[in-house]
A = this chain, B = another copy of it.
Amino acid sequence: MKEIKVGIIGFGTVGSGTAEVLRCQAENLRRKTGLNITLARVADRSAQSLPPEFAQCPLSNKAEDVLNDPAIDIVVELIGGIEPARTLVLGAIARGKHVVTANKALMSTAGREILAAAAEAGVTVGMEASVAGGIPVIKTLKEGMTANTINSIMGILNGTANYILSRMTDERLPFAEVLREAQDKGYAEADPSFDIDGIDTAHKLAILIALAYGINIQLKDIHVEGISRIEPIDIVYARQFGYRIKLLAISINHGDHMEARVHPTMVPENHMLASVNGAYNAVNFNGDMAGDILLYGQGAGKMPTGSAVAADIVDIARDIAAGAINRVPGLAFVEDNIIKGRITPMEQLRGAYYFRMSVMDEPGVLANIAGILGNNEISIESVIQQKRQEKGPVPVVIRTHQATEKSVVQAMNEIDKLDICAKTPVIIRILE
């Protein structure tokens, strides 16, 4: 039986998960592929030893030992971050080795360079695990929906943020309290900013956009807002209006330009994405031929992410066994056909909006606000003005008809400057 040898760099959560998947699925994979896919070497900067079930596998503290092992066919990079991951991946490619990575920071910033080098060298770089953990979203884009022009991408791509919003919704608890609880349970990092500020989601959206449209995109092109300003009261109003609040990655394809944005969004409660709760992820691709296709599952975690890494390893093993080179382009499109792409400026966005303002409860306040909205050509669908229960500002909640982002930003700046406005208004875009 043909042997395919795998080397893992980085034996943390995903690295040990991948090793475990390869170990416990070995017989299953032999039945499916007719190949022996084995872990041949592990490199980890700090590990002193491997768990007993991997005792026969050589361990080094230098990543180069994996790159320089001539027996290794596939190098699995699981150290995260941009450097030294980038140098190691390029080094593996230069040595004619295939690469699998779960590194979204790396692939969303240096992906183009890495995949071009791989195409040149005739090796494959698999990155399924970099977006949505165990869910085969990249395979679906590159293969399952290949005969489609992608009209839109909408995704819940960060389990921590979705967990926090779900808990806030179910338990009516404030953001800070739920975050603390999530940190205590290990669902959120000590520094949670990557997750809750939308940066992690933006990394993943950048990868999906590149693969969906065959364009070059840079992280800075993506408009990003996090969830830390959402309050339980927003969730209550959202429910009243028939919505759930989700941190969505959104891209809409307008042909000669594409939207690229990450922000809290009111999702209609009968939309499948509204039913995605807890730490789960989901992505909806709309294709011009297939229509909506949604994929749902665990977007993180040791074994689900290990499952996606292993799927890439098996894909490459099958290519090796079949003698196939560059079978599917790394970026879904043949390198020469990747175009510059233009991202829609945020101010050109059109949609419905939810505003929550904290205002002093004085006569004429609503007339004042409505006047500013009217002057900016924003028409109001409904207003809820809460009665004052104690001293201090009261919330005014407004849902608009279709308006442009430009006029909304202008109007909110004007309202924010009013003396009666106690806090900067909260703005949530509504998905229609």
Contacts and interface: CB of A to CB of B under 8 A. Distances in A.
Interface of A: 21-22, 25, 28-34, 128, 134-136, 139-140, 143-149, 214, 270, 272, 275-277, 287, 289-298, 301, 303-304, 306-308, 310-311, 313-315, 318-319, 321-329, 332-334, 337
Given A143-B311, A334-B33, A295 B298 contact: no
Contacts of A31: 214, 333-334, 337
Could you say how many copies of this chain the assembly holds? Answer: 2
A149 B310 CA distance: 13
B21 A147 contact: yes
Given A289-B306, A322-B327, 5 more contacts: A25-B147, A146-B314, A290-B297, A295-B296, A322-B325
Interface SS, A side: mixed
Contacts of A270: 275, 277
A296 to B, nearest CB: 4
23 contacts: A22-B147, A32-B146, A32-B333, A128-B144, A134-B289, A134-B290, A139-B140, A139-B144, A143-B314, A145-B307, A145-B311, A146-B311, A146-B314, A270-B275, A289-B306, A290-B298, A290-B303, A291-B303, A293-B295, A293-B297, A294-B294, A322-B322, A322-B324
Contacts of A33: 146, 334
A304 B328 contact: no
A32 B145 CA distance: 12
A256 to B, nearest CB: 15
Contact of A136 (B144, B321, B337): B144
A28 B304 CA distance: 32
